[in-house]
């Protein structure tokens, strides 16, 4: 697909200078016309309310209508929503009270598939008795089920801090999985996303941890829809995928290698539960439709250019990736401002955002280049780079 130059913008460079960057026409992505052959969920971001008087480092101020509008946008491209998730929202400024309200509103919207994060993040930081951790999981799971929601069982910082052995992990998960009403998605979030989760499943070495996790999956297969692993290592994901019990899905959380993992190989493929799908919904939808039609060339043509963008957005410190997600939403007119819950818009420097702008353009994802350039110029002026 040939792309012509539309306009240009002066962007900062790593050597302290600037360059005149040529912005091109956006790609045209088709809305889905057939069911995908891969289950695809986007970990959707929350839109902050910039006019709120709440202190951003202390309390979440949410623009509910803009937040729900973004979910309608994702649904319109055939994607499901992974709501109130880990680093997408939780642990990044959104507490359990606001998370539950977010889940309630999204489920009530009824626009498409929704699965919501249940964890233990309402517990104070530190160690706790396993019984208290179990009770915390039970509280969040019950609240989501009461709303008619599906559950993503998130990794617990409290459990990571308190467990003394792999058996402690098995005990907690055995207890929760024996009670859930519908099959859940388990999320194994790696320490690159959240350093507090290092050693999850009772071992710092990932393959040893994998054995404990697989034993839990095998014991509770009927209660598990799938597992999402976010280790940013395709070989570990493929190895675990090949060992999963029959009927249990692998949801890739690998924002570095998702295109390859979703396509799969002769022994299987991964479904998707990805933060990057928030930003690349049109390209992802177009690619998944092509894959469903057996057109792998079109699949790669749409998705391959988004991989460098995703690798940049999720580069270390990976836990700050959401800044890039919200920046993209602002550039594309989905929100009127670049303000984030918890003040997280400051988590990435201006050179990082300038490179993100270039990569988004290369992927054809700046849907209105005139608007995107105007907003990029505004950001540069604020940072003294105009």
Domains of the chain (ranges; CATH) run 37-307 (3.20.20.70)
What's the whole-model pTM score?
A: 0.95
Question: For 187-239, how does the pLDDT look when each residue is reduced to its tens digit (9 = 90+)?
Answer: 999 999 999 999 999 999 999 999 999 999 999 999 999 999 999 999 999 99
Q: pLDDT tens digits, residue range 300-329?
A: 999 999 999 999 999 999 999 999 999 999
Spans in the chain with pLDDT lower than 50: 1
Query: Helices in 220-305 by DSSP H: which ranges?
Result: 234-241, 258-263, 281-292, 296-303
In whole angstroms, how far apart are CA 343 and each of 92, 176, 195, 349?
9, 34, 20, 13
From the CA atom positions of the chain, what is the Rg in Å? 20
pLDDT more than 90, % of the chain: 92
Task: Write the pLDDT tens digit of every residue in 98-110.
Answer: 999 999 999 999 9
Residue 37 half-sphere exposure toward CB, CA atoms < 13 A: 15
CA distance linking residue 115 with residue 43, whole number of Å: 10
Residue 227's alpha-carbon distances to 65, 87, 154, 181, in angstroms, are: 31, 17, 10, 17
Query: What pLDDT does residue 86 have?
Result: 83
- Measured CA to CA, the distance from residue 311 to residue 3 in angstroms comes to 23
Task: Give the DSSP H/E element, type plus range, for residue 359.
Answer: helix 350-362
Q: Is 199 left (phi over 0), alpha (psi -120 to 50) or beta?
A: left
Name the token pair of 229. Answer: 């692993």
Run of H or E residues at 83:
strand 80-83
Strands 5-12 and 18-24: antiparallel
Alpha helices in 29-121 (DSSP H): 64-76, 96-109
C-alpha–C-alpha distance, residues 361 and 25, integer Å: 8
pLDDT of residue 1: 47
Query: Would you give the distance in Å from CA 65 to the centre of its chain?
Result: 20
In Å, how far are 85, 140, 225, 305, 322 from 154, measured between CA atoms?
8, 11, 14, 30, 18
pLDDT of residue 6: 73
User: What is residue 291's predicted lDDT score, i.e. its pLDDT?
Assistant: 98
Do residues 334 and 369 lie in contact, with contact meaning Cβ atoms separated by under 8 Å?
no
């Amino acid at each position: 697909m040939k792309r012509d130059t539309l306009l240009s913008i002066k962007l900062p460079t790593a050597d302290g200078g600037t360059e005149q960057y040529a912005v091109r026409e956006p790609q045209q992505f088709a809305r889905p016309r057939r069911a995908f052959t891969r289950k695809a969920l986007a970990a959707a971001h929350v839109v902050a309310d910039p006019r709120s008087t709440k202190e951003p480092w202390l309390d979440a101020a949410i623009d509910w209508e803009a937040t729900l509008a973004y979910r309608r946008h994702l649904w319109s491209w055939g994607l499901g929503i992974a709501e109130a998730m880990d680093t997408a929202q939780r642990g990044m400024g959104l507490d359990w009270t606001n998370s539950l309200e977010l889940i309630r509103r999204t489920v009530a919207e009824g626009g498409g598939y929704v699965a919501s994060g249940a964890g233990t993040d309402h517990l104070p930081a530190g160690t706790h008795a396993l019984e208290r951790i179990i009770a915390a999981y039970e509280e969040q799971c019950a609240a989501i089920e009461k709303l008619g929601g599906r559950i993503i069982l998130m990794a617990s910082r409290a459990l990571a801090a308190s467990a003394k052995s792999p058996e402690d992990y098995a005990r907690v998960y055995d207890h929760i999985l024996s009670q859930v009403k519908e099959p859940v998605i388990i999320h194994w979030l790696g320490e690159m996303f959240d350093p507090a989760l290092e050693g999850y499943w009772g071992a710092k070495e990932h393959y040893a941890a994998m054995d404990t996790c697989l034993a839990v999956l095998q014991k509770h297969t009927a209660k598990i829809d799938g597992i999402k692993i976010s280790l940013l290592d395709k070989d570990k994901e493929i190895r675990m995928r090949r060992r999963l019990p029959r009927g249990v899905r692998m949801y890739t959380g690998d924002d570095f290698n998702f295109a390859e993992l979703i396509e799969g190989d002769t022994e299987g493929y991964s479904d998707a539960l990805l933060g990057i799908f928030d930003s690349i919904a049109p390209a992802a939808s177009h690619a998944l439709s092509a894959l469903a039609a057996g057109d792998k060339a079109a699949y790669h043509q749409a998705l391959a250019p988004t991989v460098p963008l995703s690798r940049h957005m999720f580069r270390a410190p990976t836990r700050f990736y959401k800044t890039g997600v919200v920046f993209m939403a602002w550039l594309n007119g989905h929100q009127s401002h670049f303000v984030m819950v918890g003040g997280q818009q400051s988590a990435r420097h201006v050179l990082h955002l300038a490179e993100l702008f270039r990569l988004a353009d290369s992927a054809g994802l700046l849907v209105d280049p005139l608007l995107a350039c105007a907003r990029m110029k505004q950001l540069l002026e604020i940072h003294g780079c105009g």
